[in-house]
Amino acid sequence: MSTILAAAAGAASEENQGPERHADHNFNTKLDIIKAEVQLEFRKLRNQIAEEVAKTTAQLTQEFSQAREDLNQARSKLEHTRLQLHAVTGSQGAAHSYPGLVHRSGATPEPTFYTVDVLRVPEEHAGETTSLALRKLVEKEMQAPGDQPSWRVVGRNKEELKKIKDILEAKKSPVDNVNRTAVIDHKGKVLLGAAEALGQEDDVQIAKLAWLSRKDSAKAYGSMVVYVTKASDARRLLDEGFVHAGGESGYTRIFERRIRPEQCYNCQQI
């Protein structure tokens, strides 16, 4: 009896394990299918990314090559332009006159005019302020460096006008503690030839000088203002701190024009 029951129990156990094994098999099969699908999608995504990277790399390489080619062309054009400018402004161009340059340009530039104020020039130097004398003075100073032998007073652009203005507007340096007898006479007038004499003593070209101290004072020394034609000479005199005048020396500093208030001589009120 017991043998029959054990056999029945074993048969029942086998019958119960059958569905479980079938379920496990189905689960494993589905899991394998899912794994295969995931691997397939991953391979597709990886191939797509690789394709996009390759396409982007090729496009960037092409753009870089085009940019480099454009840069080389621009560099070649700039070099060609530089050579042309060098040929125009080089040693051969320096010898050309202004009319020749205008003829090559094909158009005549609009002339620019400037005015030179000569109202404060002393009467004894009036002959030095004619248009011809001023033009020769400016041309001489512009040709002095040696690299512009054909320079002429024309004033074609702002740069040339600035050069002309820098020369015509003399650089001013006041000088203190100067012996008045080396500059003015007993009437308070500047001595004839004083500018030339002081210029030779200090190795500068003086365009004008004026006495600043009171002319009716009995003091033997005073102050004067010196107008020199070159900025380099003015800087030198200021840097050295002194000038020679009549065998003596005076102190230099930057000239500052000051406007005095108008006041009544009798009541001393402004």
Q: pLDDT 10s per residue in the chain (270 long)?
A: 444 555 455 555 555 555 666 667 777 888 888 888 888 888 888 888 888 888 888 888 888 888 888 777 877 777 777 776 666 555 444 444 444 444 444 444 444 455 566 666 666 666 666 666 766 776 676 666 555 566 565 555 667 666 666 655 555 555 567 778 888 888 888 888 888 888 888 888 888 888 888 877 778 888 888 888 888 888 888 888 877 777 777 777 776 665 555 555 566 555
DSSP one-letter code for 154: -
Task: Give the integer Cα–Cα distance in Å for 152 and 134.
Answer: 12
Short-list 127, 132, 129, 128, CA closest to 118: 129
Using the structure block, give the residue that is written with the tokens 């002309």: 164
CA distances (Å), origin 78, targets 71, 83, 216, 262: 10, 9, 68, 62
Residue with structure tokens 């020199």?
Answer: 228
> Could you tell me the sign of the dihedral formed by the alpha carbons of 186, 190, 195, 196, in that order?
negative
Q: Which alpha helices (DSSP H) does the chain contain, by range? A: 2-89, 91-94, 98-105, 131-143, 158-168, 194-202, 231-240
